[in-house]
Amino acid sequence: MVDRRAIEPLRGAPNTEPHSYRVPGSKSITNRALLLAALAAGESTIERALFSDDTHYMSDALRRLGIPVDSDPRETDLYRGEVFHVRGCGGSIPAREARLETGNAGTAARFLAACACLGHGRFIVDGNERMRQRPIGDLLDALRQLGAGMSSSTGCPPVTVDADGLPGGTARVKGERSSQYLSALLMVAPYAQHDVDLEVVGELIAKPYIDLTLGVMSQFGVTVARDGYQRFHVPHGQCYRSQAHYLVEPDASSAHYLLAAAALTGMRVRIEGLTTASLQGDARFVEVLEQMGATVTRHPNVLEVLGPSQLRGIDADLNAISDTAPTVAVLATFAHSASRVRNVAHIRLQESDRLGNVAAELRKLGAKIEEHDDGWTIEPSSLHGGEVEPYDDHRLAMAFSLIGLRVPGIVIRNPDCVRKTFPDFFEQLQGLRVRQ
């Protein structure tokens, strides 16, 4: 039996009293911090971290590599979150063989494939059916150029790593499919046997995630010389430093759904602990909401959005913050003028074909949406209720749920897929209704 979740619309005039939220820790930062803590020498404590399916796959895989990782679900400083204790092994991989299951966690699969190259033995990196369709060949090619033994019969997981340390040297990596390949290479490069020089071939997508990677690496004590987003030099001999109290930022990608809910309903939502100075590019989603007519207030430690009486259509290049693209498509159906979302062709290769699936499901609800190679054109639409299929994609489930705040009869199939990154999303969304 397929689980379903009905979303009840908000009733009456919007309540503009602030709704304050403390969202879970960033998935992107949590998984990077887990990897770097595992490669550091000594014990690190990662606080306010995300406890979700993706971080479970990452922490469990590190344990399978022989790196002790203990978890302690609790609340810290009023932030809901997981505390991880990681006893790093100084760049070594204790296990001589391991099978690393990653579900559909792209960060875990790509980061772990690179990390396993530092070991000595045979390691298998695999995932679920969708992960076995997600390309990883560009990363494997770059690792081979650095001297690693990598193989995959399909260019997707499962990946076999025949590891004997990472020699280093020079590698060229393609940038048009995923920035995670470059992030993975950068994070393991300090433990190569020689300096590592990386050159990005083609246009790099999702550039803010590289800034995030370099930011977390710096916090753990490693510096990288760079020439924009094209060339990176990582000197041999650097080591990550363990962190006694590493604090993870609130997840900007998760927060953006609640900020979008404010824009859609005319309500006021505040996200505690998040600012536009965040390491996370998705914190700049508020700039998109401003273009659509919302009022954004940037407090020293809070982002606040007040929704407009009517949304405006936009023409937006969302390459840098492409996780927000399905949400923008949803908002655009309620705008009073047409919208164009551009330069997100790569989202076809993520947890689902987000370009095609967003168009298909919105059309089922009456949306006027045209799919392009790199995005959509969305006309103002009169939506109706219906059952929506998120294709086991957490970002689609959360984006489609927003429609239910305005349109009666919206039902989300397989709502538990949000556990990938935002386990209590529906409870948080319900908070808008409780205080209306």
Residues classed as catalytic: 323
Name beta bridge partners: 371. Answer: 376
Q: How far apart are CA 261 and CA 269, in angstroms?
A: 8
Q: How far apart are CA 309 and CA 330, in angstroms?
A: 17
Residue 354 · residue 398 · CB < 8 Å: no
Q: For residue 353, which amino acid is it? A: D
Query: Is the bond leading into 308 cis (omega within 30 degrees of zero)?
Result: no
- What burial class does residue 12 get, using C-beta atoms within 10 Å of its C-beta: 0-12 exposed, 13-18 middle, 19+ buried? exposed
Residue 301 · residue 289 · CB < 8 Å: no
Q: Scanning the structure block, which residue is given the tokens 């009733």?
A: 11
- What burial class does residue 237 get, using C-beta atoms within 10 Å of its C-beta: 0-12 exposed, 13-18 middle, 19+ buried? exposed
**Alpha carbon of 233 to those of 43, 189, 221: distances in Å?**
27, 9, 15
Q: List Cβ neighbours of 363 (8 Å cut-off, separation of 6 or more).
A: 369
Maximum C-alpha span of the chain: 65
CB atoms near residue 176 (< 10 Å)? 14
Residue 378 · residue 332 · CB < 8 Å: yes
Q: How far apart are CA 203 and CA 174, in angstroms?
A: 8
Q: How far apart are CA 431 and CA 347, in angstroms?
A: 30
Nearest to 91 by CA among 209, 206, 189: 189
Q: For residue 31, which amino acid is it? A: N
* CA-based radius of gyration for the chain: 21
Structure tokens at 408: 């009666």
Nearest to 207 by CA among 178, 185, 249, 184: 178
Q: How far apart are CA 238 and CA 327, in angstroms?
A: 40
Residue 159 DSSP SS3? strand
Q: How far is CA 73 from the centre of its chain?
A: 21
Q: Compute the Cα dihedral for 338, 287, 434, 361 and give only its sign.
A: positive
